[in-house]
Amino acid sequence: MGIPYDAIGEAGLRFFGKVSASIAHEIKNVLAIINENAGLLEDLTFAAQRGSAIDPERLSKVCGQFTKQIQRADGIMKNMSHFAHSVDVFDTRADLYEVTCLVANLAARLAAMRKLTIEVVPAKTLVLFTGNPFLLQNLIWLCLEFAFGATSAGSNLLLIPVNDDAGIALRIGGIDSLDAGFAGKMPTGYEDLLAALGAKLSANCNTKELILHLP
């Protein structure tokens, strides 16, 4: 069976577009906060020019916000850079934990909008995935999209890379509305990505986990 490149390309473009839009929104929020604090700094400067004493605590708070948002922007840009460069390599060996952390960071804003949190649990031993990292990121993203819609607000999704007797896998737990009909509710394109990666997706309805089995 050949790899369905057209379908994968379509799914990849949707994925890249969603992530890019989310990153742009995050950067816009950072700039809005910086702009707000710049306005406060101007107010303090204007007041000082008119002879009013500057409140050191208020000034320190404004400066602290600048530092905080610069660090936040730096983190966003690092994630964006790692994500963008994932399309450079078509076949490589990658740390599944690091790949999962990147996707979790990229999806954090969307999770927060649904009042969910994502936690990636470090693997007990190094779990190496061999294949296309961009396709894997896309597939994990689709699994998270499904999980967001099947999980109650206030819940925490646990992403756990494992390497045991059953092989390499990513377990996504905490999906409280997971049932046997999960496959029919998965986002479009996931089956093509599974085929391209040689992966399988199953569910454990007792533990409320999606299990992404990787080659």
Sequential DSSP letters for 84-112: HHTTS-SSEEEEHHHHHHHHHHHHHHHHH
- Contact at 8 Å (CB) between 142 and 185? no
pLDDT tens digit string along 141-180?
999 999 999 999 999 999 999 998 778 999 999 999 998 8
Residue 1 has pLDDT above 70, yes or no: no
Residue whose C-alpha is closest to residue 136's, from 168, 183, 109: 168
Q: pLDDT value at position 4?
A: 54
pLDDT tens digit string along 57-96?
888 888 888 889 999 999 989 988 888 888 888 888 999 9
Instruction: Using DSSP, state whether 171 is helix, strand or coil.
Output: strand
146 backbone dihedrals φ, ψ, rounded to 5°: -60, -45
Give just the sign of the alpha carbon dihedral 214, 100, 154, 113.
negative
Task: Considering only CA atoms, give the Rg of the chain.
Answer: 21
